[in-house]
Amino acid sequence: MKKLIFLIFFIYWFTSYSQSYTSYFTGNTNDTITSPLGGICLMGGATEDDNAMKWFLEQANGGDILILRTSGSDGYNQYLYSQLGVSVNSVESIVFNNPNASNQNYIHSKILQAEAIWFAGGNQWNYISYWRDTPVDSLIRHVLNTRNIVIGGTSAGMAILGEYYFSAENGTVTSSTALNNPYNSLVTIDSAKFLEINILKDIITDTHYDDPNRKGRHVVFMSRMLTDYNSEAKGIACDEYTAVCIDTNGIAHVYGSFPTYDDNAYFLQINCEISVNTPENITSNTALTWDHSGQAIKVYKIKGNSAGLNSFDLNTWEDGTGGIWENWSVLNGQLFESSSSPINCNSTGIYLQNQVVSNKLTKVIDVLRREVNEAKSGLLFYIYDDGKVEKKIIIE
């Protein structure tokens, strides 16, 4: 009897632990062992970018693709197995119906055999609460470190990949809510050991950046990382339909459909050119101010194209191609963006010792960032040359 090798399509319904998981399998049932090429693919949500997914499959080097998810079904199987023109041995989607699936030996064996693991969209708190401190996250860390597999995810699947992550334990949060109270109960920033991807150390990701606008909340996430954990907070974000694919040399290539569509990726970091760059006001029930003369955050913004030609170096966080530099800042809960010169961490700022810090007043602005006379009444912001900002309410 001939072995069933090619184009085998079937569904396994497992009933242990009250049907704790469901497996959808497409392809060759015989495991193949290849030498995966590694890398990470971060996708911003909505429909996948085909060229980024081709890159992801090519990094698997003909091996087995494992999709992990807590909702949905087999939507990836045919797409990845036969529609992108990249040959792989198999595609299997495993849906965790409840946390008990994390203890299933079948799933453990599939993680160990995979050359590529992809996290679908859904609810990142389910991923975290189902997998953290279980054999699932420890086995994923194991294969990342020992087999050089490629890993990636979209939407919630991207949100869990940084060392720090927005857990959404209490639900999602809008930029407006986060900016006006960075310690709102919905702003749940977690650092507990999870997937531990080395190149994403001190990084928090965000997705669906353009629908709705999530820039403000991402800056709040970074402000909490810096304030609560003393982290060298950084961020990577993608618009919908946009992907960042990071090769094993630490170069992040941006895929999208520009110029047909305005697809962007963003690389955020604390502005190292400011001597003491911490939020001027980050307290509970108070709007965030992290301004430093409008230069608190340095951002490299890249348009994604079909070839992934534009890139950013995650080794230096200073070098990129095809993008533009911007300054972002928050004043009294309002996000501001402006064009900027490239970051230069060796010129001035936190990496220099014995720096003389002054506190000369440079200007006074109102809540609309208009420069005003000190005599004007109302809420005013006093900005000093060392980056310090004082908020004062002037009453005539």
- What is the per-residue pLDDT for 278? 97
Query: Given the DSSP bridges, would you call strands 150-154 and 251-255 parallel, antiparallel or unpaired?
Result: unpaired
- What is the per-residue pLDDT for 366? 74
In this model, does residue 377 exceed pLDDT 70?
A: no
Token pair of 258, please? Answer: 């520009």
Integer Cα distance of 173 and 331 in angstroms: 19
In the block, tokens 């420890």 appear at 138
Tens digits of residue pLDDT in 331-370: 999 999 999 999 998 754 433 323 333 456 777 877 666 7
- What is the per-residue pLDDT for 199? 97
In this model, does residue 223 exceed pLDDT 60?
A: yes
Name the residue ranges covered by the structural domains of the chain: 8-356, 357-396
pLDDT tier, 126 (very low <50, low <70, confident <90, very high otherwise)? very high
In this model, does residue 13 exceed pLDDT 50?
A: no
- What is the per-residue pLDDT for 371? 78
Written as one string, the DSSP assignment of 100-126 is GGGG-HHHHHHHHH-SEEEEPSS-HHH
In this model, does residue 6 exceed pLDDT 80?
A: no
Name the fold adopted by 8-356.
Rossmann fold (3.40.50)
H or E element, residue 82: helix 77-82
Tens digits of residue pLDDT in 170-188: 999 999 999 999 999 999 9
Residue 99 is given by DSSP the state: G
135, 100 in Cβ contact below 8 A? Answer: no
Residue 281's alpha-carbon distances to 164, 182, 246, 290, 328, in angstroms, are: 22, 10, 35, 7, 16
- What is the per-residue pLDDT for 373? 74
Residue 15 three-state SS: coil
Q: From the DSSP assignment, how many helices (H) and strands (E) are in the chain?
A: 9, 22
**Listed residue (25, 34, 73, 74) closest to 57, CA to CA:** 34
